[in-house]
Amino acid sequence: MKLIHTIEDLQRNLTEARAKGEKIGLVPTMGALHEGHASLVRRCVAENDVTVVSVFLNPTQFNDKKDLEKYPRTLDADCVLLESVGADFVFAPSVEEMYPEPDSRKFSYPPVDTVMEGAFRPGHFNGVCQIVSKLFAIVEPGRAYFGEKDFQQIAVIRAMV
């Protein structure tokens, strides 16, 4: 398993895999991984030739900055878990790498993103779409895996795709 911090390095590795005809799967995460994430990674490993797990605490989806400050950062432990379930690449970029300039893109999929959690966390799903669209553009996965616990998030991402 390789730990990668830059887009350029990740894309170089993935270009090599793609040239060999390998199928690439992506599991986006914000770290602090647990068994739920492990099960997504196991499924990704079973269904693809190359599994990329992103570990990025995305600031744009936190409408309450205190929640962002409190969020656990456990990259070393995350890597131990990811290696044990067979991930090939852990992509853990810095905020500057993912947002060299502020992302002003607006994503809007009413009513999917405006009801329930969307009504209580303004801007949250916009931030999720910003980061997930960037990850999709960088990794170009054939498949991506998201926890069903965040059911509304999946619906928003489906709308975006």
Residues that bind ligand PAF (CB under 6 A): 28-30, 58, 61, 128, 131-132, 146, 150, 153
Residue number with CB closer to ligand PAF (15 or 122): 122
| Residue nearer to ligand PAF on the CB measure, 14 or 128 | 128
CB 73 within 8 A of CB 59: no
Active-site residue flag, 37: yes
CB 135 within 8 A of CB 28: yes
One of 5, 34, 37, 124 is an active-site residue; which one? 37
Output 48 or 54, the one with its CB closest to ligand PAF. Answer: 54
- CB of residue 21 to ligand PAF, shortest distance in Å: 28
Contact 60, 130 (CB under 8 A): yes
* 131-151 per-residue burial string, b: 16 or more CB within 10 A, e: under 16: bbbbbbebbebeebbbeeeee
CB of 128 to ligand PAF, least distance (A): 5
Least distance (Å) between residue 8 CB and ligand PAF: 21
Are 44 and 145 in contact by the 8 Å Cβ rule? The answer is yes
Active site residues: 37
